[in-house]
């Protein structure tokens, strides 16, 4: 066990080219941002990079030259916690628990959720972009302290 200070990771997904001021406010002060795809355009990533380091994956709607540097999945280690990130959790082709991951971050459904299964925390921050149906507009925070991790959905109050 290390005595490293806790890290706050901002989770965002499904911006679809819209970076809301409420999302920026909710992410200010985080140590890193993970974008789980359907980004929409390079400007979204550039805006998020003004807050802190960004790791992003390609979503099913991310097309064009600007997406060439994006992977379908990423692995991010924060302290002793290993995070597997992809856009659509239904397309996962590994056993996260078997592979040693503590957290899986995904987007795609626009439905925010935090669920633990087989010792792995599955977090979908929901959609921070255009509202879809009656689903909330949201982001999430992931607090990592040594080998402990907690997730919190943050609903954005938007019109």
38-79 pLDDT, tens per residue?
Answer: 999 999 999 999 999 999 999 999 999 999 999 999 999 999
Distance CA 146, CA 2 (A): 6
Confidence of residue 2 (pLDDT cuts 50, 70, 90): low
- Give the range of the structural domain holding residue 90, as residue numbers without chain letter: 7-155
In a domain, 12, yes or no: yes
Please indicate, yes or no, if residue 88 is contained in any of the structural domains: yes
**Number of structural domains in the chain:** 1
Round to whole Å and give the CA distance between 62 and 81.
Answer: 28
Residue 2 included in any domain? no
**Residue 63, in any domain of the structure:** yes
Is position 1 within any domain? no
Model pLDDT for residues 82-127, shown as the tens digit of each residue: 999 999 999 999 999 999 999 999 999 999 999 999 999 999 999 9
Q: What is the CATH number of the domain that holds 95?
A: 3.60.21.10
The answer to the question of residue 105 being in a domain is: yes
């Amino acid at each position: 066990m290390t005595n490293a200070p806790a890290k706050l990771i901002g989770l965002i997904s499904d911006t679809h080219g819209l970076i809301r001021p409420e999302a920026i406010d909710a992410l200010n002060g985080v140590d890193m941002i993970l974008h789980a795809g359907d980004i929409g355009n390079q400007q979204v990533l550039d805006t998020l990079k003004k807050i802190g380091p960004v790791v992003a994956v390609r979503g099913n709607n991310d097309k064009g030259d600007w997406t060439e540097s994006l992977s379908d999945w990423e692995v991010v280690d924060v302290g002793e916690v290993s995070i597997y990130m992809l856009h659509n959790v239904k397309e996962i082709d590994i056993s996260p628990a078997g592979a040693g991951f503590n957290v899986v971050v995904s987007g795609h459904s626009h439905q925010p959720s935090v669920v633990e299964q087989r010792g792995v925390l599955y977090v979908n921050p929901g959609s921070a972009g255009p509202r879809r149906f009656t689903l909330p507009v949201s982001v999430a925070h992931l607090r990592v302290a040594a080998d402990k991790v907690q997730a919190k959905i943050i609903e954005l109050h938007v019109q």
